[in-house]
Amino acid sequence: MAPSAIAPLEGSSSSSRPKILIPEKVSPDGLALLSPHFDIDQPKGLSAEELLSIIPQYHGLIIRSETKVTATVLAAAKNLKVVARAGVGVDNVDVEAATTHGIIVVNSPSGNIVAAAEHTIALLMAVARNVPAGDRSLRNGGWERSKLVGTEVGGKTLGIIGLGKVGLKVARMGVGLGMKVVAMDPYASPEIAASANVTLVSDLATLLPKVDFLTIHTPLIASTLDLIGKPELDTMKKTARVLNVARGGVYNEAALLEAINAGTIAGAGLDVFTSEPPAPGSAAEALCRHQKVVATPHLGASTVEAQENVSMDVCAQVLIILKGGLPTSAVNAPLILPEEYRKLQPFVKLVEKMGSLYTQRYSGKGSKGALGGRTFDLVYEGELAGISNTRPLFAALVKGLTSSISDSGGRDVNIVNARLIAKEKGIVVNEIHNRGGSPRDLVYASLVTLRASDSGEGIISGYVSGNTVYISRLDKFSASFIPEGTLLVLHNYDRPGKIGGVGGILGKHGINIRFMNVAALEKVEEAQATGSDQVEEEKEALMILGIEGEVGKEVEDELRAAKGILNVSVVKL
Ligand SMILES: NC(=O)C1=CN([C@@H]2O[C@H](COP(=O)(O)OP(=O)(O)OC[C@H]3O[C@@H](n4cnc5c(N)ncnc54)[C@H](O)[C@@H]3O)[C@@H](O)[C@H]2O)C=CC1
Ligand SMILES: O=C(O)C(=O)COP(=O)(O)O
């Protein structure tokens, strides 16, 4: 199909709204979340070349197992923020390339696992009892009973490789069918295995000779490609049957075909293949047609319920990501526990604002002013100090620090590529979890402080109350303001009449004041400044004004020239 023939979803317009491409069948349940905000295109039968030519216009891409999201596609995807896999396996996405380009890859880690486990059991029973062969025979007018004698599964041994989400469900169902379940998974929890009545063994050599049925539930990765080939099949019982509802390639298809033909493996139930549909003349195609094989066209996740689940899961994440938030199931970022996620979300906003405030207030001042090559401390105190996975806060800081100095306004910085961008810009961030007791003046549940660790200049602290973020310290002053909109920060001597003078200048230029906060010296600094052995200095203060309207150079100069004003900065947050 020609790219120009791609029809927009009904109701969408050719507006400037962000665009989402969905080249595969995805349940409409989740799409309803997206259509009010984005233009959605759902072309059918898109070729690899067509995908490559149209991908630059899209901000989101939602796929299942058929679309190959290669490094070339990702390199061309200039506007893409997210690849959402409406399912589990991401072996059709070059996740590493996505990471390099700062594109978030999300999936639905558990939306279809019941469907996949049930399909495994469907194939197990179908293979054990010759259900498809009996059906075929009857349709053709036959009544073959003695030829199609099956085998019971009760009392038999089910071997599982990969005791993850699907594997564990299959294990429980197997136990329910009266099977003995033995599993091999180097990363599985022995406690969870024991609680599901599964015997864990440490290697394939121990597992394979025992099993009557073997099923694999690992992802397809380098270490699981051809996991079961000729040497492994040779160690299995002649009566054993194998199942694959994971990925084509975890069994070597040629070796499996040979073993079934030789009668050293009794049969197979296969849902997935190295090429889908199987390439003409391939071992996969021969397996699909084999009378000892029951084959389905990658139906593991194809239930109404699973498709609703995965669609809702990934569309919700696409919405969050395209609106600037954090996803719950990013594949190319470490998992954040849901309770951590809830706690972190408002702090993500706070830290981004602090970073942006920092750059606008301090960058370009003196030899240490430039951002590149600087080292920062990001200090977490209170409850936040107990959260170890603060990667979103790190990303938010890099985004905030770079937002006012990059063409993209920091929009290209995300949880996935923040480290890379920080490295490129020579920014070093030390995250410090200050767990030692109640910090000075910590009246908030959590306090975050950003300071330049390589110079005395620049310190900002902030906290969150409800969902509102506040700055509680700026320079050596104890403040209290919401970092939002255009702010005028005036450093001045704390003399009477200052406020009126500044208000007069702004009023003259038609600039409205939304709020004003006068920040006094922090207590410790003040005590030092007025220490008995020191000459009393004139007290300084910061005036933070939230304003409406543009502050031009003329206004800035006038404010700067006013008596008692030490410096003026305008920040946009
Ligand atoms: N046919 C279909 O329609 C569907 C297929 N799947 C596939 O099922 C597979 C498993 O999915 P989940 O259970 O959700 O994944 P999961 O990540 O929860 O579990 C995978 C398990 O494999 C284990 N593993 C990794 N390498 C291993 C190795 N070399 N030897 C033994 N164990 C190893 C891991 O420790 C983990 O416990 C995926 O490949 C997924 O794509 C999932 C849903 C539907
Ligand atoms: O979720 C998975 O890993 C699957 O294999 C399901 O694939 P599908 O979305 O049905 O193309």
The CATH number that applies at residue 401 is 3.30.1330.90
Ligand 1: centre distance to CA 34 (Å)? 29
From 201, 203, 218, 298, mutation site for ligand 1 pocket: most ligand atoms within 8 A of C-beta: 218
Ligand 1: centre distance to CA 167 (Å)? 7
Residue 276 annotated in active site:
yes
> Around Cβ 432, how many Cβ atoms within 10 Å?
15
Whether ligand 2 lies within 6 angstroms of the CB of 164 is answered as: no
* Residues 414 and 493 occupy one common structural domain: no
Q: Whose CA is closest to atom 40 on ligand 1?
A: 89
* Residues 144 and 221 occupy one common structural domain: yes
Pairing relation of β-strands 19-21 and 39-41? parallel
Kindly tell me the sign of the dihedral angle through the C-alpha atoms of 323, 328, 331, 336: positive
pLDDT for the residue numbered 331: 86
DSSP string covering 24-40, please? Answer: S---HHHHHHHTTTSEE
* Residues 180 and 290 occupy one common structural domain: yes
What is the token pair recorded at 222? 């380098």
Closest-lying ligand 2 atom to the alpha carbon of residue 65: 11
CA 212, CA 360: separation in Å to the nearest integer?
68
Helices and strands (H, E) in the chain, number of each type: 19, 22
* Residues 215 and 138 occupy one common structural domain: yes
Tens-digit pLDDT profile for residues 258-283: 999 999 999 999 999 999 999 999 99
Residue at 329 is within a domain: no
DSSP string covering 452-505, please? Answer: ETTSS--EEEEEEETTEEEEEEETTEEEEE---SEEEEEEEE--TTHHHHHHHH
Residue at 532 is within a domain: yes
- The radius of gyration of the chain's CA atoms, rounded to the nearest angstrom, is 31
Whether ligand 2 lies within 6 angstroms of the CB of 82 is answered as: no
CA 50, CA 52: separation in Å to the nearest integer?
5
pLDDT for the residue numbered 13: 46
Domain endpoint, select from 447, 475, 503: 475
Catalytic position from the list 101, 298, 361, 374: 298
Q: What residues contact residue 92 under an 8 Å CB cut-off, 6+ apart? A: 63, 65, 66, 67, 68, 69, 85
Kindly tell me the sign of the dihedral angle through the C-alpha atoms of 245, 248, 250, 256: positive
First to last CA, the chain: 45
* Residues 186 and 37 occupy one common structural domain: no
* Residues 340 and 433 occupy one common structural domain: yes
Catalytic position from the list 50, 118, 276, 308: 276
Angle between helices 498-508 and 553-561 (to 10 degrees): 160
Whether ligand 2 lies within 6 angstroms of the CB of 64 is answered as: yes
Closest-lying ligand 2 atom to the alpha carbon of residue 272: 5
Whether ligand 1 lies within 6 angstroms of the CB of 89 is answered as: yes
Residue at 550 is within a domain: yes
Q: What residues contact residue 191 under an 8 Å CB cut-off, 6+ apart? A: none
pLDDT for the residue numbered 527: 53
Whether ligand 1 lies within 6 angstroms of the CB of 129 is answered as: no
Ligand 2: centre distance to CA 87 (Å)? 5
* Residues 392 and 431 occupy one common structural domain: yes
Closest-lying ligand 1 atom to the alpha carbon of residue 109: 14
pLDDT for the residue numbered 284: 98
Q: Whose CA is closest to atom 3 on ligand 1?
A: 300
Contact assessment for residue 290 and residue 300, using Cβ atoms and an 8 Å cutoff: no
Rounded to 10 degrees, the C-alpha dihedral 379/384/389/391 comes to -50
Whether ligand 1 lies within 6 angstroms of the CB of 218 is answered as: yes
Whether ligand 2 lies within 6 angstroms of the CB of 65 is answered as: yes
* Residues 355 and 495 occupy one common structural domain: no
From 161, 185, 191, 204, mutation site for ligand 1 pocket: most ligand atoms within 8 A of C-beta: 185
* Residues 436 and 510 occupy one common structural domain: no
Its ipTM equals 0.99
Ligand lying closest to the C-alpha of residue 64:
2
CATH number of the domain where residue 10 is located: 3.40.50.720
The residues with which 446 forms a beta bridge, in sequence order, are 382
From 88, 114, 250, 307, mutation site for ligand 2 pocket: most ligand atoms within 8 A of C-beta: 88
Whether ligand 1 lies within 6 angstroms of the CB of 216 is answered as: no
User: Which contacts of 203-209 are long-range, i.e. CB under 8 A and separated by 24 or more positions?
Assistant: 204/161, 204/228, 204/232, 205/235, 207/159, 207/161, 207/182, 207/183, 208/159, 208/232, 208/235, 208/236, 209/235, 209/236, 209/237
* Residues 573 and 549 occupy one common structural domain: yes
Ligand 1: centre distance to CA 114 (Å)? 13
Q: Whose CA is closest to atom 2 on ligand 1?
A: 300
Catalytic position from the list 59, 101, 119, 247: 247
pLDDT for the residue numbered 258: 98
Give me the average pLDDT of each 10-residue run along the chain (573 residues).
35 72 97 97 97 98 98 96 96 89 89 98 98 97 96 98 96 98 91 94 97 96 94 98 98 98 98 98 98 98 98 96 83 65 84 93 56 84 89 90 67 73 85 75 82 81 92 92 94 77 88 89 60 57 90 88 86 91
List the one residue out of 211, 205, 185, 207 whose CA is nearest residue 196.
185
Whether ligand 2 lies within 6 angstroms of the CB of 247 is answered as: no
* Residues 464 and 496 occupy one common structural domain: no
Residue 36: exposed, middle, or buried by beta-carbon count in 10 A (0-12, 13-18, 19+)? Answer: exposed
Dihedral-angle region of residue 435 (phi above 0 means left; psi in -120 to 50 means alpha; beta otherwise):
alpha
> Around Cβ 219, how many Cβ atoms within 10 Å?
15
Q: Per the structure, how many domains does the chain have?
A: 4
- 3-state SS of 246-278 is CCCCCECHHHHHHHHHHCCCCEEEECCCCCCCC
> Around Cβ 49, how many Cβ atoms within 10 Å?
9
pLDDT for the residue numbered 367: 35
Closest-lying ligand 2 atom to the alpha carbon of residue 87: 1
Whether ligand 2 lies within 6 angstroms of the CB of 112 is answered as: yes
Whether the model clears a pTM of 0.80, i.e. scores above it, the answer is no
List the one residue out of 467, 523, 518 whose CA is nearest residue 496.
518
Domain enclosing residue 120, as ranges: 113-295
pLDDT for the residue numbered 503: 87
Residue at 403 is within a domain: yes
Residue at 156 is within a domain: yes
List the one residue out of 307, 323, 311 whose CA is nearest residue 104.
323
Cis peptide before 277 (omega within 30 of 0): yes
Ligand 1: centre distance to CA 570 (Å)? 53
Contact assessment for residue 158 and residue 215, using Cβ atoms and an 8 Å cutoff: yes
Residue at 463 is within a domain: yes
Domain endpoint, select from 475, 491, 525: 475
Domain endpoint, select from 452, 475, 498: 475
* Residues 16 and 141 occupy one common structural domain: no
Whether ligand 1 lies within 6 angstroms of the CB of 159 is answered as: no
Ligand lying closest to the C-alpha of residue 302:
2
CA 440, CA 449: separation in Å to the nearest integer?
12
Residue at 130 is within a domain: yes
Residue 300: exposed, middle, or buried by beta-carbon count in 10 A (0-12, 13-18, 19+)? Answer: buried
Ligand lying closest to the C-alpha of residue 168:
1
Residue 298 annotated in active site:
yes
In what side-by-side order are the strands of the sheet with 446-452? 428-434, 375-382, 446-452, 459-465, 468-474, 477-481, 512-521, 540-548, 486-493, 565-572
Q: What is the DSSP letter of 374?
A: -
What does each C-alpha distance from 5 to 1, 26, 38, 50, 120 come to in angstroms? 7, 20, 19, 11, 39
Q: Phi and psi of 45, rounded to 5°?
A: 65, 35
Ligand lying closest to the C-alpha of residue 244:
1
CA 285, CA 276: separation in Å to the nearest integer?
10
Residue 108: exposed, middle, or buried by beta-carbon count in 10 A (0-12, 13-18, 19+)? Answer: buried
Residue at 300 is within a domain: no
What does each C-alpha distance from 389 to 345, 418, 433 come to in angstroms? 13, 14, 11
